[in-house]
A and B are shown apart, each in its own frame.
Chain A
Amino acid sequence: MMKSKADEEDYWNSSKFKAFTFDDEDDEFTKLKESRQAVNSICGLVEEEEDEDEVEKVSWSGEPVGSISWSVRETASSLREQSFPKIDTTPSLPKNSSGYSLSSLFKGKEVLSDSSVRLYAPELRKPKSEYKVTAVSLEKFRSLQEKLLLLDEAVGVHDGNVITAVLIYLKKSLSKEVLFRELESRQTALRHFIHYLTESKEQRLLLELYRALGRTEDEALLQYKEHLRITDENKRRDFLKSCVSLPFSPEDAGHVQDHYTLLERQIIIEATDRQAETGGKVEIFQKFPRRASILNMPLITTLYYCCFYHYAETEGTYSSPANIRQTFRIAEKQYFVTALAARAKLKAWHDVDALFTSRNWLGFTRKKSPLSFSRVADILSKNNAPVQVLQEYVGLVDDVELRVALAQKYKCHFIVISTYRDLKDRQLLLGYRGKVERGSEEERKIDELLSNPQIRWKN
């Protein structure tokens, strides 16, 4: 089962708002808040006489009382669920035949004649200008030529209902081979037929049709779609395995192969982890109980999961992130984003650090990242990273303006201060002094810089 969307998003963001504006008017939001307060302050005055003239009466669920939706819900809440009773499908009359007399089978007689077996179809052999929709019995059309003429006429009047009606008749009265052959050159009719078969869930016939038309990719996709019906994961895996050899486009074939491999992995990981979790011996599962099973999750969610629960594992295990990365050819950037988010969520700052640290041949370390450091900072902040961690990455942002903006946003004061110092901008530094806390270390730092005679300020 898919995890709910909210869950998935939660993996990534632990809500943090940042300043947002449509056109640089920071105070709009405050203005709104003020209006809200103003309106709320009137509340007291209004409430006492509120109820008698409300616009509409509203029930507990917020639905207007007396509305149809409301009433339906009322009936529904008084019911209990029941499943269908088993129906004997063998074509014999029930033993208890008291009510099932022959006449009762035809009790709807007058109904039968009015909404009859007849169909509104164009009458043929009339010039188009004189065309009238007339009730015509389809059984009259027996030769192939007549049937096809009927179909072409139906297509000509652009009434999908009529087209489908004719197709249903042709389906009953022509062999598959002939019908398929004739549909091949009639695209509009063909699409109606495909849609009809899809809706009435005639999978097998549809597959045959695709095969007859040589539409192998459609056939493969349709067959692949069947896996969605299979709930048992082992059966689903086996089914996917059988799909691998279907005639997909080369690109899709790769995806289906991956789908199979992934589910196979997930089944193994799930079994091991469920055991570890219930065993209660593995710390990480105790500290962070799994929210959902990993079965049938997308690849990236799986990678995230493995970075979360199996980060330190060696490449040899199925659940090691490195193994997943290699098996599914995950791009470097993709891997980094996911690993970063997972480790940040766990507040494993040491791992985060290690992820970006590379050593050169002299043994010096430096920070390298396949994604911009501003993004790194964004992901970290969304996972509530402390300022000490954040400032390290904000400090690595090359663009000075962006660096200052981010530093201000994430309250990395020292980055702001050192950037202003590097810019030799005394005015900005002075201005920023007002924004840091009185008597704080930041303030001391600014004072120290301002009184440093060795700095040659540009203003």
Chain B
Amino acid sequence: MSERDSPELPDFSVLKRLARDQLIYLLEQLPGKKDLFIEADLMSPLDRIANVSTLKQHEVDKLYKVEYKPVVSTSDQLCFLIRPRIQTVKWVCDVVNADKAAGKFKRYKIIFTPQKFYACETVLEEQGIFGDVSTDEWAFYLLPLDEDIINLELPEFFRDNFLEGDQRWVRTGGSALHLFHSIYGPFSKVYGIGRCSKMVYESWREQVKEGEQKARQAEVGTVFLIDRDVDFVTPLCSQVVYEGLVDDIFRIKCGCVEFGPDVTSSDKSIKVMLNSQDKVFNEIRNEHFSNVFGFLSQKARNLQTAYDKRRGMDIKQMKTFVSEELKGLKQEHRLLSLHIGASESMMKKKTKQDFQELLKTEHSLLEGFEIRECISFIEEHINRQVSMIESLRLLCLLSLTENGESNQFSNNLNSAWPCQSYGVDHLLTFANLKQLGLLVEQQPGETLTVMESKMGKLVNDKTAGKLTDAFSSLAKKSNFRALSRRLSLVPKSDEEYDLRVPRDMAYIFSGAYIPLSCKLIEQVLERDGWTGLEEVTRLLNGHEFAVTGSNGADLRPQSDAQRIILVMFLGGCTFSEISALRFLGRERGYKFIVLTTAITNSARLIEAMLDNHV
């Protein structure tokens, strides 16, 4: 397949403007000076679209973080900008009731974002302050993190939807897609896989039907929706592409990372935006970590040469140098030393935890090779109380790749040893991991069908179908090995893999594994649907779909809009997957835009399942 020019990406800055204008409008609904309380995890997203002076211009006096403590504000108008969470609303109720008890009268407003939930309003009602507090919705769905990443910043989507089975975010997903559609659409093709994807698609479709769509030139024509639980293996792997590695180690938050003193070689930490504006970062973000060193040294040498040019310059030349080149060089210098510092620090951290051996184990698991050795590696990890998150991650990876069959090697692995090493409190964590299908216990095959038919008799047919659904998701088998064979996810290990010149998306995992999620996207785009992938979708528990719009949208496959593909990850995606898609885009002449409910990685995924706290 020959490389071809990729189409231009649409401009997403309009999304920021839109969100900002809406917020301003809402703030103006509460005229006069007011103090604003912001939910902690909304602060960074808010920072990306507005700044303090914007808020001050609209009579926001003081800013506070929601900390579930009594407030000390003296303002007589309080505005709360929060996520629709019962806990937060209860806190607002406490604040209001405390004021009431003290005989203070203030005006209160809650702005829920991206939407309000009835359960939250019920809390207001139960606490007797319904009516004392006005509520509003700030439909801030889409936060552009970069030129090709849009984030919903809803990490709880993952646990709520996949673990708790709560569909509260389905409509949110639909609305987000709807907003995108109304600005950059109309879409002409939508592909998807997963139960949630189907529901989000339905919700989006309903919303489109309700509103009116103006005829316009589409900027993005193709959409792919995918549930996180279609592929758990990929986000559980260690990331080795630069951006992913930075996220695994330093945790990128809302496109921004905090580098500590070990990186900055000074006594202070520094926050850095990581996106395509950073020229150095932009060149290494998608590179395998082993290539980064060489690249950075080359850059450093070039920089040195550029600076050295000054020697032997006369005054005039020097003047031009200073006015034209120096600023760029200085900027590059600053960035270069940051990323070199980060690389050094990551290298040290990874060396300390025997990263090489860890990667070897992961690769063996993906390949289904030397499982016994992998198990003893994990066992030792647990015995030596090495990081719990790491241990659980490896256990889940083992269970997913071996489909729970590793139990025959050791039945202490799935809870006894981890409980001894990390505390019995984690019984609940294990229950969660099992519920989600990350840890599979080998069960006698029949239990399930017996249960199903027994339950089936109790209820009518329609519900019985839903029941089967519920049960099949409960006892979800990952079928990883079969999928891997069918889609050739694991390249033959006897071939050399040149990471400098990647030949496929496997490079993001050192040539050991092509991410299942991205492979599916590649296959469906190539086949223009699911035809020929029947066995694959069967192994993935179905729920695939491919629909074509009939609204007169541009359907020529060669048109630019058709080659710009919006991939919506429900439940989060990793930077490695984004890198893989960028690679695929370069190879096939596509441009991918990633729309995700959150950026995730193995640690975030496992942490979302922890339940050893009140």
A residues lining the B interface (CB < 8 Å): 2, 5, 8-9, 11-13, 15, 17-23, 25, 28-29, 31-36, 38-43, 45-46, 49-50, 53, 55, 58, 60-64, 66-73, 75-76, 79-85, 87-88, 94, 96, 98-100, 104, 106-109, 111-112, 115, 117, 119, 131-133, 157-165, 168, 185-188, 191-192, 194-196, 198-200, 221, 224-225, 228-229, 251-252, 255-256, 258-259, 262, 296-301, 328, 330-331, 333-334, 337-338, 341, 371, 375, 379
Q: In the assembly, what is the distance between CA of A8 and CA of B423, in Å?
A: 13
The dominant DSSP class at the A interface is helix
Chain B: number of interface residues, binned into ranges: 35 or more
Residues of A with C-beta under 8 A to B38: 68, 72
- Taking a contact as CB atoms under 8 Å apart, the answer to whether B383 and A337 are in contact is yes
Which residue of B121, B415, B614 contacts A251 across the interface (Cβ within 8 Å)? B415
A61 proximity list for chain B (CB < 8 A):
268-269
Cβ distance B576 to chain A, nearest Cβ, rounded Å = 16
Min CB distance B242 to A, Å, is: 12
Is A99's CB under 8 angstroms from B304's CB?
Answer: no
Are the C-beta atoms of B424 and A259 separated by less than 8 Å? Answer: yes
A252: chain B residues at CB < 8 Å are 415, 427
- Whether the pair B105, A188 counts as a contact (CB closer than 8 A) is no
Whether A28 lies near B293 (C-beta < 8 A) is yes
Q: Are A299 and B420 in contact (CB under 8 A)?
A: yes
The answer for the CA separation of A22 and B500 in the assembled complex, in Å, is: 13
Given that A200-B123, A228-B612 are contacting pairs, would A20 and B350 also be in contact in the complex, using a CB cutoff of 8 Å? yes
CA gap between A31 and B85 in the complex, in Å: 50
Q: Is the CB of A39 within 8 A of B336?
A: yes
10 residue pairs from A and B, CB less than 8 Å apart: A35-B299, A39-B336, A53-B327, A68-B63, A72-B63, A157-B206, A164-B119, A199-B85, A225-B428, A251-B415
A46 to B428 Cα, complex, angstroms: 55
With both beta carbons as reference points, the residue of chain B lying nearest to A220 in the complex is identified as B427
**B347 with A32: CB separation less than 8 A:** yes
**Contact: B380 with A63, CB < 8 Å?**
no
B499 within 8 A of A: yes
Within the assembled complex, what's the spacing in Å between the Cα atoms of A28 and B291?
A: 9
A259 and B423 CA atoms in complex are apart in Å by 8
Instruction: Tell me which residues across on chain B come within 8 A of A84, comparing CB atoms.
Output: 70, 94, 98
- Taken together as a complex, chains A and B put the C-alpha atoms of A322 and B65 apart, in Å, by 51
- Chain B residues numbered 110-138 whose CB sits less than 8 Å from any CB in chain A: 115, 117-119, 121-123, 125, 130-135
The B23-67 residues at the A interface (CB cut-off 8 A) are 38, 43-44, 46-47, 50-53, 55, 62-65
Chain B residues with CB under 8 Å of chain A are 38, 43-44, 46-47, 50-53, 55, 62-65, 69-70, 72, 85-87, 94, 97-98, 101-103, 105, 115, 117-119, 121-123, 125, 130-135, 160, 164-171, 199, 202-203, 206, 210, 240, 258, 268-271, 288-290, 293-294, 296-297, 299-301, 303-304, 307, 327, 330-331, 333-334, 336-337, 340-341, 343-344, 347-348, 350-352, 355-356, 380, 383-387, 412, 415-417, 419-425, 427-428, 431, 455, 458-459, 463, 466-467, 470, 499, 510, 611-614
Whether B51 pairs with A192 at a CB distance below 8 angstroms is: no
The one of A43, A192, A331 in contact with B167, judged by C-beta atoms closer than 8 angstroms, is A192
Write the nearest CB–CB distance from B104 to chain A, whole angstroms. Answer: 9
Question: Do residues A71 and B416 form an inter-chain contact, with CB atoms below 8 A?
Answer: no
Interface pair A17/B165, CB less than 8 Å apart: no
Closest-by-CB residue of B relative to A54 is: B334
Instruction: Provide the residues of chain A in CB contact with B290, threshold 8 Å.
Output: 22-23, 25, 28
A228 touches B425 (CB 8 A): yes
A-side contacts of B333, CB under 8 Å = 39, 42, 46
Kindly list chain A residues whose C-beta atoms are within 8 Å of the C-beta of B50. Answer: 68
Cβ B52 vs Cβ A195 within 8 A: no
Which of A17, A168, A199, A333 is within 8 Å of B352, CB to CB?
A17
Q: B131 to A112, Cβ gap below 8 A? A: yes
Per the bound structure, the CA–CA distance linking A58 and B271 in Å amounts to 9
A15-B352, A62-B258, A72-B38 known; A161-B117 Cβ under 8 A: yes
Contacts of A198 in B (CB 8 A): 164
Known: A38-B304, A68-B52, A225-B428. A85 touches B70 (CB 8 A): yes
CB closest residue in chain B, given A199: B86
If A42-B307, A69-B47, A195-B164 touch, whether A64 touches B271 (CB-CB below 8 Å) is yes
Nearest-neighbor residue (CB-CB) of A248 within chain B: B427
Are the CB atoms of A256 and B427 closer together than 8 Å? yes
A87–B293 alpha-carbon span in the complex (Å): 61
Minimum CB distance partner of B118 in chain A: A165
Q: How far is the CB of B16 from chain A (nearest CB, A)?
A: 14
Alpha-carbon distance between A108 and B210 when the two chains are bound, in angstroms: 32
Report the separation of the CA atoms of residues A307 and B11 in the bound assembly, to the nearest whole angstrom: 63
Q: How far is the CB of B77 from the nearest CB of chain A, in Å?
A: 13
B403–chain A nearest beta-carbon distance, Å: 20
Give the chain B neighbours of A163 by CB distance below 8 A. 167
B102 touches A85 (CB 8 A): yes
Knowing A32-B297, A68-B43, A84-B98, say if A12 contacts B386 (CB, 8 Å). yes
Contacts of A53 in B (CB 8 A): 327, 330
- A36 lies within 8 A of B340 (CB): yes
Contact B385 A12 (CB under 8 A): yes
Q: Are B427 and A115 in contact (CB under 8 A)?
A: no
The residue in B69, B164, B417 that gathers the most chain A C-beta atoms within 10 A of its C-beta is B164
Q: What would 7 more interface pairs be, CB under 8 Å, given A31-B297, A117-B125? A: A53-B327, A98-B103, A108-B131, A112-B130, A160-B170, A165-B119, A194-B164
Contacts A35-B297, A83-B70 given; does A94 touch B103 at CB 8 Å:
yes
Max count, chain B CB within 10 A of own CB: residue among A83, A104, A195, A328: A195
Asked whether A66 lies within 8 Å of B119 as measured between CB atoms, the reply is no
Assuming the contacts A23-B499, A192-B165, A299-B421, asked whether A108 and B132 have C-beta atoms less than 8 A apart, the reply is: yes
Chain B residues with CB under 8 Å of A15's CB are 352
Q: How far is the CA of A73 from the CA of B160 in the complex (A)?
A: 30
Indicate which residue in A68, A162, A328 contacts B55 across the interface (CB closer than 8 Å): A68
Residues A94 and B101 in contact in the complex (CB < 8 Å), given A68-B43, A191-B166, A298-B385: yes
Are B420 and A39 interface neighbours, CB within 8 A? no
Q: Which of B170, B341, B352, B385 contacts A159 (CB 8 A)?
A: B170
* Nearest CB of B to A191, in Å: 3
